[in-house]
Amino acid sequence: MYYYNIFQISQNPIPDEMKITEDDFYMSSFVGEVATKLETLDPYEQTRQIGLLGQWLVENNLGKIEDNVLILQPELLKQPYYSQRYVEFKTAIEKLKAVDKQKFLEDLDGVRNAIFEVEGSLIKQQGHYVFWDSDNTIPLDEFLRTATPDKPYYIGGVCRFKYF
């Protein structure tokens, strides 16, 4: 059974008493719509998971984490990680553009799958998430695309979850 993480990230330092726990998700739609199971990680495992995220960011030349502060590299789209994702996106768009009127009318599942392929190549939904400034939970990929490079983002708590 594979689990993913929800990293609490804020533009401001997060005091220990404000770090997320599984209790913060009981009233949210995240559990039930995205996750089947969610749990708070102990401090050791939180530190380890933050370290693994930092290692992944460095390996993909997307950013770094030092002392629980995440800083993204400028020009993310020039990095191989997003360059390859862009090629996949363009390929998915071409498949969708190839849908003619006949396919549109007779192959609903095929058209729907082509649309999902475009969406999936744009934002990676199946992966880690970010609990952003105590406001909402978004895919890590969405956070990486919308955060400001070279700006410090503070990491608080980490919870683990399992997809449906």
Q: What is the pLDDT of residues 38-62, one digit of tens each?
A: 999 999 999 999 999 999 999 999 9
Q: What is the pLDDT of residue 39?
A: 94
- Model pLDDT for residues 114-145, shown as the tens digit of each residue: 998 888 778 776 789 999 876 689 999 889 98
Q: Give yes or no: residues 39 and 110 share one domain.
A: no
Q: What tokens does 23 get?
A: 């209790």
- Reported pTM: 0.82
E-only strand ranges, the chain:
4-10, 35-40, 63-66, 69-72, 129-132, 136-139, 153-163
Q: Give yes or no: residues 101 and 156 share one domain.
A: no
Q: In this structure, which amino acid lies at residue 13?
A: P
Domain range for 116 is: 80-120
Q: Give yes or no: residues 18 and 56 share one domain.
A: yes
- Model pLDDT for residues 60-117, shown as the tens digit of each residue: 999 999 999 999 998 876 788 888 888 889 999 999 999 999 999 999 999 999 998 8
